[in-house]
Structure 1
Amino acid sequence: MPRHVAYQAIAAVHRDDAYANLVLPAMLRDEGMAGRDAAFATELTYGTLRHTGTLDAIITDAAGRDVQRIDPPVRDALRLGAYQLLHTRVPAHAAVSSTVDLVRAVGPGATGFANAVLREVATRDLDGWVAKLAPSEQTDPIGHLALAYSHPQWIVRAFAEALGGDLGETRRLLIEDNERPPVHLCARPGLIDPIELADEVGGAPGAFSPYAVYLPGGAPGELPAVAEGRAHVQDEGSQLVANALAVAPLDGPDGRWLDLCAGPGGKAGLLGALAAQRGARLTAVEVAEHRARLVAQATRGLPVNVLNTDGRTVGSDPKLPEDHFDRVLVDAPCTGLGSLRRRPESRWRRQPSDLPPLTRLQRELLTAALRAVRPGGLVAYVTCSPHIVETHVTVTEASRRAGFPVDFVDARPLLPAGMPGLGDGPTVQLWPQRHGTDAMFLAVLRRG
C-alpha cells in the first residue's frame, strides 16, 4: 500500500503539475495511513522526485531507449522501483517484484519490459551507475556533480557561482538538498516562549533564531500551539531575515511597518508579533486573493492590516503612500532555489527562462519599497534563492535606479552573534550546509 500511494503522488506531480507536499498528505489521510507506512510512502515519494534526473539517466541506459519514450505511467513506476534499488535498503527482489506488480496494474503490456529494466538497474549500485554515466569530474565538474547529486546543470552552476567557485562546498550543498529537511517552528514573541514551546511539542530550541524550535517529526498543523496562533511553521532562516529588519537600528519614528509581499504570512506573523510588543503596526500587502486570506489568518489578533493589492502600486494607491513607512520588508517572488530540499519536484520544473521575468518583478518591487520608505527608513530585501541575478544584481540595479541616495547597511550584526560563514558583508547569504536553514539572501538598505 505505501508503494501504491507513493506512485499515485509521483504520477500526480508529473501528470497534473501537482505539488508533493500538498497531494501526498491528502492521499495518506484518504488511505488512513500513518506511522511506519506513512513514513515509507513519504520517503519513496520525496526521494524519487528529488532524484528524478539521475534515475532517468540510469533508466535510459538500462532500457536502451530514452526515458521520455516510455509510457508515462510505466516511466513513473520504473522511477519508483529504481529509487528503491539504489537509495533504500529494500531487498532487490522485493523492489523488482513490487514494481512489476505495479506496472501490471498501470501498463499491463509492459511487465516484461519493466522486469528486464529493473534487473539491469540492479546490476550496479548508485556509485557504479555514476561512474558509468557521469561526465569526468576533472573535465566537466558541473556535469559530474549534476548527475551524481541529481540537480540540473544550470542550478549546479548557479550554486557554484554563488559559492565563489568552491566546488567542494557546492557538493556539500547538493548533498544537503537531497536530505529530508527538519521542521522549524517560530514561537511568536509575546505569545509563547521558545523554551516553553519546545517543552510543549517535544522539540529543541533553535541554534540561531531566538524564536526557533526544531520539531522532531509529526504533523505540525495539529499542534495546539500552531492551531491557536501562538506559533507557526517557518524555516529558521526566514525567521532570521525578518527579525534582522526588526532589530536594525533606526533613528526617528518607528511605528509604521510594511511587508510588501506578505503571502502566505509567515514573516508577517513574526513581524506582527514583534510590532505588537513595540507599539507598531504592520501593513501586509499580497496581490493574490487566496494568499491574502492566508495572511489574514496567519496574523489574526495582531496589529496587522492586510491589503489585497499589488505592491508595485506604491504612490498610486492611497493606502500605500510614498515616503511613509519606517521599516519595509520585500520578500520577493523568486525561483525558490534556496528551498529545493523542501520542494522535491521544483528543481526539475524551474528553467533558466524563469529568471528574466522574475528579476524584473524583483527590481520593480524593491524600487516600490524604496519609494514607500521614509528618508532614513530601512528596507530589507529577501529572497529564498542564492542565484546571483536574484540577489546582488537585483539589489544593485534597483538601488542605482532609485533616483535618491540608498546606502547598504551591514546585515551581519543584525544576525545572532557567533553565526559562522556570514561572509564579508554588507549582504548575507545563509546556506543549508552551513547554517541548517534554507538558502535565504538578505540585503538591508537605508534610504538617504
Structure 2
Amino acid sequence: MPEHRGGGRPSRGSRTSRPTAADPARRAAWEVLKSVRADDAYANLVLPAVVVHFSLSARDAAFTTELASGTLRWRGLYDAVLAACVDRSLSRVDAPVLDALRLGTHQLLAMRVPTHAAISTTVDLVRAVGGGRGGGRADAAAGFANAVLRKVAARDRDAWVAQVAPPAERDLFKHAEVAWSHPAWVVDELAKALGTAAAGDELAALLAADNVPPAVTLVARPGRAERDELPGTPTTYSPFGVVLDGGRPASVPAVAEGRAAVQDEGSQLVALALAAADVEGDDRLWVDLCAGPGGKTSLLAALAAGRDARVLAVERAHHRAGLVRSALGADPAGSWGVVTADGTRPPLRPGTVDRLLVDAPCTGLGALRRRPEARWRRRPDDLLDLVLLQRALLGRALDLVRPGGVVLYATCSPVLAETSGVVGSAVESRRDTELLDVAGLLASRYGVTDCAGPLPGTAQLWPHRHGTDAMFLALLRRTA
C-alpha cells in the first residue's frame, strides 16, 4: 500500500489558525471524488487527467490512486463510522467537506499514514475546499473536521466494524453493507448468482475480492505482438496476457505502439471464446455489436486477421465509436470497419454474419474491483431498462447471424436477471437457437475450471475464483 510523508502541519483546530495550502496528492484525490459525485465520472478515467493536472510524481500518483479508489470502495463503512462521530445527519454535512472526511477516514483506518498527518492534512484540505469564500466558514469547517477525525482515530478498523455493522447472524446483507461496503441489494444479487450451494464464506470471499485493487493485465494482440515481449507474469488462462510486474503500461513499447493493450483476462477470454467456437460453413464476417471502447474488438480483429476474416464494430455513441477506431489503429488492409449505429437496428442484412459478439450494457457489478463507484451509482430500478435492452440486443444478434453461425452474449455482471434471465428467454422463445457449451470450451481450450454458469453450458467467471472480472458468457448457435 502506498505510503506518504504527510504534508502540511499539525492543526490545532483553532478558529484563528492561518490557512494553508492543501497537499496536492490529497487535493487530487478529492477532485476525483468530486468528479464521481458531481459528474457521474468513473474514477479510473478521471485519475490520469488529475495526476497530470497536479503534476504528481509517480510516488504521489500511487498515493492519490489508492486514496481515491480505496475511499470509494469503502464508502459504506466510512459513512457508518462518520455517522457515529458526527452530531448531525451526514446529509446535512456539506458535500465537499464530507468527501474530505471520507478521505481522512481512509487514511486513518486503511493506510500507513501517521495519525497526526492524516488529520492535519485533511483539515487543511477542508479549509481549502469546504469554507466557501468566507474565512470564518473555512475555519469553522476545519475545526469541525478536526474534531470528527479525532473521534475516528480513537478506534482501529476492526473495532469500528464491530461497533457500527449490524451482526451478520441477524441480517447478513445489512452487515455486509457496512463490513464489506457493498449495498445490501448488491450483496443479495451476488449471493443469488453464487447459488444456494455457496455458503457465507464464499460470499465473503467474493466481497473481499471486490475490495482488492486488480493487478494491471496486458494483452499482446496476436500477429502484432508476442507475449514474451511484454514485461510481466503470464496470465493463467489467456495465451496472450501478462500481469504487469510494475510501472506504467504506457511505458511498455508494444502498448505505446498499439500492438498490445491493457485488458482484463476475463475480457480476453470473451473474445477468445467467440473466436474458438465452431461455425458451420463460411467464416468471413465477425461483428461486435456493442463495441465501445474497443478492447474486445481489437483482440477479435487481430484473431480474425489470421483467418482472412473481417471485423465490423458497431457502436451507438459517436465518441465511443471514436475510441474503437483509436483502439484498432491503422488498417491498410481493410480488415475491419467501425460504424456508428444502434445495436438494435444496425445497418446489416439479417442472416449474413458468421460470428457475433454482444458485450451488452449492464450494471457492471462484475467489475467492482476496478470501478468501485458503480456499487453506489447503480440502483435496483436500473435492472428493468437494462434487461429490456439486453433482450433486444440478443434478439437482433440472433437475427443477424446466418444458420450455422454463433453469437456470444457476455455481461460484466453476474446478476441473474442480466445473465440466465436474458439468455433463457431467448432460447425458450426461438425455435432457431441452441445453447452451446462455452464452459466446456473454456475448460478444454484454456484450462478454465469451476466456471459453470447458471444455465447448463454457460460460464461465469469470478474474481475470487479466477482472478478476473465476473464475466458471464453464453454461446448460442443459429439453427436452420
Tell me the TM-score range normalised by the shorter chain: over 0.9
| 1:51-130 matches, cutoff 5 A | 51-106=74-129, 107=131, 108=138, 109-130=140-161
Pair 1:414 & 2:441 matched = yes
Instruction: Report if aligned partners of 2:427, 2:435 keep a CA contact under 8 Å in 1.
Output: no
| 1:124-273 matches, cutoff 5 A | 124-165=155-196, 166=198, 167-196=200-229, 198=230, 202-273=231-302
Instruction: Report if aligned partners of 2:440, 2:457 keep a CA contact under 8 Å in 1.
Output: no
Distance 1:102 1:290 in 2: 35
Distance 1:218 1:68 in 2: 40
CA shift for structure 1 position 289: 0.9
CA shift for structure 1 position 304: 0.9
Distance 1:393 1:361 in 2: 13
Instruction: Report if aligned partners of 2:285, 2:310 keep a CA contact under 8 Å in 1.
Output: yes
Distance 2:328 2:268 in 1: 15
Q: Match for 2:451: what amino acid?
A: L
Of 318, 335, 343, 1:311 maps to: 343
* Residue-by-residue CA offset, 1:99-119 (whole Å, 9 max, x unaligned): 122222223122222122111
Unaligned runs of 5+ in 2: 1-23, 132-137
Distance 1:344 1:62 in 2: 24
Of 402, 421, 425, 1:374 maps to: 402
* Residue-by-residue CA offset, 1:113-150 (whole Å, 9 max, x unaligned): 21221111112111111111111111211111221011
Q: Which residue of 1 aligns with 2:357?
A: 329
**Secondary structure of the structure 2 residue equivalent to 1:313:** coil
| 1:413-432 matches, cutoff 5 A | 413-415=440-442, 416-423=445-452, 425-432=456-463
* Residue-by-residue CA offset, 1:225-253 (whole Å, 9 max, x unaligned): 12322112111101101110111122211
Distance 2:391 2:68 in 1: 36
Distance 1:408 1:337 in 2: 24
**Secondary structure of the structure 1 residue equivalent to 2:306:** helix
Distance 1:16 1:282 in 2: 34
CA shift for structure 1 position 21: 1.7
Q: Match for 2:312: what amino acid?
A: T
Of 342, 366, 388, 2:416 maps to: 388
* RMSD of aligned residue pairs (Cα, Å): 1.5
| 1:2-13 matches, cutoff 5 A | 2-13=25-36
Q: Match for 1:138: what amino acid?
A: E
Q: Match for 2:216: what amino acid?
A: V
Distance 1:41 1:103 in 2: 17
CA shift for structure 1 position 309: 0.8
Distance 2:145 2:53 in 1: 29
Q: Which has the higher helix share?
A: 1
CA shift for structure 1 position 399: 2.5
Q: Match for 1:181: what amino acid?
A: P
Aligned length: 439
Instruction: Report if aligned partners of 1:367, 1:399 keep a CA contact under 8 Å in 2.
Output: no
* Percent identical residues: 54
**Secondary structure of the structure 2 residue equivalent to 1:37:** helix
Q: Which residue of 1 aligns with 2:14?
A: none
Instruction: Report if aligned partners of 1:420, 1:434 keep a CA contact under 8 Å in 2.
Output: no
Instruction: Report if aligned partners of 2:177, 2:184 keep a CA contact under 8 Å in 1.
Output: yes
Q: Match for 2:204: what amino acid?
A: R
Q: Which residue of 1 aligns with 2:466?
A: 435
Which stretch of structure 1 is more off in the superposition, 358-367 or 38-47?
38-47
* Residue-by-residue CA offset, 1:396-429 (whole Å, 9 max, x unaligned): 1122233x32111011232144323112740000
* Residue-by-residue CA offset, 1:134-177 (whole Å, 9 max, x unaligned): 11111211111221011111111111110014221111111111
So what's the TM-score if we normalise by structure 1? 0.95
Which stretch of structure 1 is more off in the superposition, 159-168 or 274-283?
159-168
CA shift for structure 1 position 322: 0.5
**Secondary structure of the structure 1 residue equivalent to 2:175:** helix
CA shift for structure 1 position 188: 0.6
Instruction: Report if aligned partners of 2:73, 2:372 keep a CA contact under 8 Å in 1.
Output: yes
So what's the TM-score if we normalise by structure 2? 0.89
* Residue-by-residue CA offset, 1:3-31 (whole Å, 9 max, x unaligned): 22212222232233222222221121122
Distance 1:82 1:363 in 2: 42
Instruction: Report if aligned partners of 1:381, 1:443 keep a CA contact under 8 Å in 2.
Output: yes
**Secondary structure of the structure 1 residue equivalent to 2:372:** coil
Q: Match for 1:294: what amino acid?
A: L
Q: Which residue of 1 aligns with 2:53?
A: 30
